[in-house]
Structure 1
């Protein structure tokens, strides 16, 4: 494997929380030196003062295989990720069928390795069929490579079944990922309740539904001692409960989607279904509270929550349209909105985009450190462009950023020291 030496690079180090010009050397697929001289025979890459950071670890990506390959395949998701600076995809189990047996997990693992230019690791379902009644074989699934266990947005109403699953997960040290929503209140909701929902005549869900769902999950964590990660915290009402859980020593972390950090409920406008998400977009006050929670470290992870949907399922009346948005290619430029607005530094962003998700899942990625995998993204945070959804590499084009003015361009992406994307090629 060719030795690479990156010079004149603005190194974004989320561990040291530093942002400074330097050099980085890659040998045998790992980072071999920082701020050293170029080894003899190395391929020298002049970064032109642009940013070189650990590749993004995107926790919570939906891929259509198996069952919905027309929406997204491992190949198309991998190409989109590479173009977006995402070097590790953590895929959700909400497929058809669900990833709830070692056989299905082994199938998707093999398919992903064959088709994707970036790393793809999988989560498995917490309960069989994601139906919330009977736990999966968590031990066998862990042995087959499952990084965590979640039913995604299929929230169980059977608390006793969940308690058994959490207890078993605790005995194995497995990570449980919850979707904090009270399922009864959330059923049939299209937007967050309030004046905007009333004016549009759309069914809404009160923000307290998230708090209620989180309270139940945290009570189960306290009861069982399980390791727990909330996939998306989106309301200010949930933050005190999260803070108390951490102060009480519970093994709890939380994430938020890039859409809930950069958009609010008013963006729905005149029933624009590309803005229909689960959970729905929140108020501007909630959005700003989430940004502050990421800056303080209360919320550790930013993800795309990439959820592809075809044209037929989005071009419906707002209440009937599918929820979700693609985000593998737009995660980085959308995150640049937070940087350019002065909310978060690049090092703080990459702590949440790369370092923290890798740490939570026990992966070696996400660091600019000697011996770490050379999964890297070279990008210019300032390049302006207008997003054209039809140029996205995802099979589905359901992005809320279509036609938006954005900043931030990925110049090259490397996985294990091998270049998997270069702008203009």
Structure 2
């Protein structure tokens, strides 16, 4: 194993052998996702205004923040016919690619559908679980710096597969710019209603309902700090999927993958925005140096080079570790949103990976394939929350009810136990309710 080379400008170089490694890694991973007091105050005001004044507040906020001149909600609603027109208006290549991605996403999520179940005990008591879809789901699709038709598919298709009766989509259109691919994806994914709303006001509309926008049971989809703050504020009034942070990728390489491939894999996440994080870990110092050289060589060729450069300089890193075991430890410590195992035998690593949103196996599996068309969901836990959270899926659009059907014999048997426990808690009505079912 060769010595770790010195850090060069542009992207941080860390080595697990360094005395200050832990401190530097903590700084690198730190992400303050909590809003400032000012942002929270502004979001609270918007939420309350929409709750109180409904459509009028929505129109005013949308005109102000997205620089529009809408006179009413009719101008902020996109009818189903317009969605179909967008789909038919795509080039053959785009339409086929979008359809192929949708088919794969649907096929994968069909396998996630849980079934209701029950069993019967010896005394005839039936216990079980009933699975039912949500009535209405709200999908937030980001707009602004980039358009994300893939996010429409990833959010709406699992809801559709789950059996959600109505899917409402909101998407901001700053300066009135509508993305045809986003509308086409909404048509393809079976979205029922689309409104050109964004920010905290869109979250408020979905959470509380207005004269035009139906109130939903759950809000899913990523957004900026105002969207994240609003989702956190309305949680409890409605369900939410997660509070999403910046996009992340952690690549672990054994040195056998082309340096240019890995450089571009890192760029694929760094180009999202300046806060995105791209990290490469390897125990091959020469390989790290080759990837660093590829980064310097390829970065100027990118259309979003300025964003990538700032992202890599601010939150990117090349980490030199001692061996495979240290690489595994780093994976579980970082708990990345996207993990690429760019190694010879990725299956051998899988049992040791405890925390990761999505795991991309082998040299040929670029993370970008998962973003668009592999099939698994690209809505993933970020900022270390993969330690306790999972990718978005069909189960996020369903709920479970417990089933309890006691026979007379079962009620008598359970009543004895319930009576003792209830009286121990001094809840005598509970005890007597159970005791009434016990024969004399």
| Structure (1 or 2) with the greater helix fraction | 2
| Structure with the greater alpha carbon radius of gyration | 2
| Structure (1 or 2) with the greater strand fraction | 1
Establish whether TM, by shorter chain, passes 0.5: no
Scaled by the length of structure 2, the TM-score of the pair is: 0.27
